[in-house]
């Protein structure tokens, strides 16, 4: 049984400020290459780690163009929703998004929380589960999303999670989960998106943790210049697991499509924001004016009643949906 995994495609019609090419055309070329790889590698199932779209209300014309390519994959597609696919980091809004439409018409299969799919081929039985992004995924209850229990009647278990799973600690102020913290999961393979730089294929004992990085380079990081977008091919048979990365041939060198000046400027701004965050944290003061920050503050507040937190998140999501104009921006 053979799988292709890719993640964080961030479909959009406009070009981010840090790119010098025509983003839309580049992304279409990459989707076409993924389609060719599916055929050449004789893939059985396609898996996606979330953030199909750069925003939940992307233009229908753009969705139509990419839906045609996705349909041409000709394989079952299983996925989770990323934070960019939903409103206000609230997974309950997915039914009113473009990703929800693709799921509703059967073009893709969106894996639900606690849902288990059984895939079978050539005597191999695979348990497939997925965890869409939610505001508390990398919070205190992270284990219920990352740690999977394997059913007794299957040969392999795969868990797809759109969360900030990392090899080592990250910047203060950004919630994350470390691979070592979930090493007791019974999933044979844990596939993750969200962290655009990725960490490749990591193996702990007989377990695999995989993030090839985002298909498109839109993160404001200098390291993106040297990173090559990839997909992962996974083989499961009676002998075990084989996983390998494939670099996309259509992906041009970073210095040909990324604006280094813009990346350096953004990196400097991000560092200043990080230092500012450290300063106000040390002083015990929090000035939250951005909706994302408000959501993070609410989600991480252990004093609030859980029902109050959930209601606050729900109302913010509704407000964001109502305020949305459907236009695309660079944020």
- The Cβ-side half-sphere exposure at 252, using a 13 Å CA radius, reads 13
Rounded CA gap, 85 and 65, in Å? 17
pLDDT digits (tens, 9 = 90+) for 252-310: 887 888 877 765 565 555 555 555 544 544 555 444 345 555 655 666 665 566 667 66
Which secondary-structure segment (H or E) carries 244?
strand 240-247
pLDDT at 145: 97
Torsion from C-alpha of 99, 104, 105, 110, nearest 10 degrees: 60
Rounded CA gap, 327 and 246, in Å? 34
pLDDT at 286: 43
Q: Is 33 within 8 Å of 41 (Cβ atoms)?
A: no
Over pLDDT 70: what percentage of the chain? 78
pLDDT digits (tens, 9 = 90+) for 21-42: 999 999 999 999 999 999 999 9
pLDDT digits (tens, 9 = 90+) for 55-81: 999 999 999 999 999 999 999 999 999
Q: Is 175 within 8 Å of 164 (Cβ atoms)?
A: yes
Task: Tell me the three state secondary structure of residue 15.
Answer: coil
Backbone φ and ψ for 299, nearest 5 degrees, come out as: -65, -35
pLDDT at 108: 98
Q: Which domains does the chain have, with CATH numbers?
A: 2-254 (3.60.21.10)
Rounded CA gap, 295 and 209, in Å? 28
Q: Is 126 within 8 Å of 239 (Cβ atoms)?
A: no
The larger pLDDT score, comparing residue 94 to residue 315, is at 94
Rounded CA gap, 26 and 72, in Å? 18
pLDDT at 266: 55
What is the total residue count of the chain? 331
Report helix angle 306-323 to 291-300, nearest 10. Answer: 170
pLDDT digits (tens, 9 = 90+) for 174-230: 889 999 999 999 999 999 999 999 999 999 999 999 999 999 988 767 777 889 999
Predicted TM-score (pTM) of the model is 0.83
- Is the pLDDT at 328 greater than 50? The verdict is no
């Amino acid at each position: 049984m053979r799988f292709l995994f890719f993640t964080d495609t961030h479909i959009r019609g406009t070009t981010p400020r840090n790119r010098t090419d025509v983003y839309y055309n580049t992304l279409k070329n990459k989707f076409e290459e993924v389609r060719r790889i599916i055929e050449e590698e004789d893939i059985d199932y396609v898996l996606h780690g979330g953030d199909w779209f750069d925003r939940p209300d992307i233009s229908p014309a753009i969705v139509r163009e990419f839906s045609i390519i996705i349909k041409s994959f000709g394989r079952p597609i299983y996925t989770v929703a990323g934070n960019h696919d939903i409103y206000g980091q609230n997974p309950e809004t997915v039914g009113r998004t473009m990703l929800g439409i693709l799921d509703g018409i059967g073009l893709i299969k969106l894996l639900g929380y606690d849902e288990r799919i059984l895939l079978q081929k050539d005597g191999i039985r695979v348990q497939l589960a997925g965890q869409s992004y939610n505001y508390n995924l990398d919070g205190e209850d992270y284990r219920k999303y990352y740690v999977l229990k394997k059913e007794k009647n299957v040969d392999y278990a795969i868990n797809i999670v759109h969360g900030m799973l990392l090899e080592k600690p990250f910047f203060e102020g950004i919630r994350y989960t470390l691979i070592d913290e979930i090493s007791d999961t019974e999933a044979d393979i844990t596939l993750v998106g969200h962290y655009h730089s990725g960490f490749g294929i990591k193996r702990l004992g007989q377990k695999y943790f995989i993030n090839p990085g985002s298909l498109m380079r839109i993160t404001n990081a200098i390291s993106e210049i040297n990173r090559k977008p990839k997909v992962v091919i996974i083989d499961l048979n009676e002998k075990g697991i084989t996983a390998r990365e494939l670099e996309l041939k259509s992906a041009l060198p970073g210095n040909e499509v990324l604006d280094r000046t813009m990346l350096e400027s953004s990196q400097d701004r991000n560092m200043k924001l990080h230092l500012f965050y450290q300063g106000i944290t040390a002083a015990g003061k929090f000035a939250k004016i951005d909706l994302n920050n408000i959501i993070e503050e609410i989600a991480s507040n252990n004093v609030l009643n859980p029902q109050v937190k959930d209601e606050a998140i729900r109302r913010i999501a509704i407000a964001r949906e109502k305020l949305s104009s459907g236009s695309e921006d660079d944020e």
